[in-house]
Amino acid sequence: MNAGICPPRTGDDTSDVIDDAVTALAERRGMWIGDDATLIHLLASLIAQAERELPLAVADARAEGASWNDIAMLLRTSANEAELRFDPDSPIADRRWPFDVD
């Protein structure tokens, strides 16, 4: 695992990226970001998509040698929780894309 990897963090840089993503998604969907309900819809869409991409990112990191402790640190959770959520053999594994079929 890369020694420079650290837990997730927020700040001005992350906020700027989110603002750009919300604006780009609104433009693609032909929406106007003029009310809070539209903003909530766009933010929720971005969160849902990011969550759908986590299982593949975790699988790829594991294939590259990341331990469950490494993954847990990146997700700000315990190794046990990370393994329960993302190990394909777990009965409660996150089965969203690329593992789902719809």
Q: What was the pLDDT predicted at 101? A: 45
**Maximum distance among all Cα pairs of the chain, rounded to whole angstroms:** 45
Q: What was the pLDDT predicted at 59? A: 92
Residues in the chain: 102
Distance CA(82)–CA(68), nearest Å, equals 7
Structure tokens at 87: 């190990």
| Cα dihedral across residues 85, 89, 91, 96: positive or negative | positive
Q: Which range has the worst mean pLDDT, 4-18, 28-42, 73-87?
A: 4-18
Alpha helical stretches, state H, 1-102: 12-29, 36-63, 68-75, 79-86
| pTM of structure | 0.79
Express each pLDDT in 37-95 by its tens digit. 999 999 999 999 999 999 999 999 999 999 999 999 999 999 999 999 999 888 888 76
Residue 23 has pLDDT above 90, yes or no: yes
Structure tokens at 79: 């190794």
Residue 4 has pLDDT above 70, yes or no: no
Q: What was the pLDDT predicted at 98? A: 60
Contacts of 39 (CB under 8 A, 6+ apart): 22, 33
Distance CA(78)–CA(82), nearest Å, equals 6
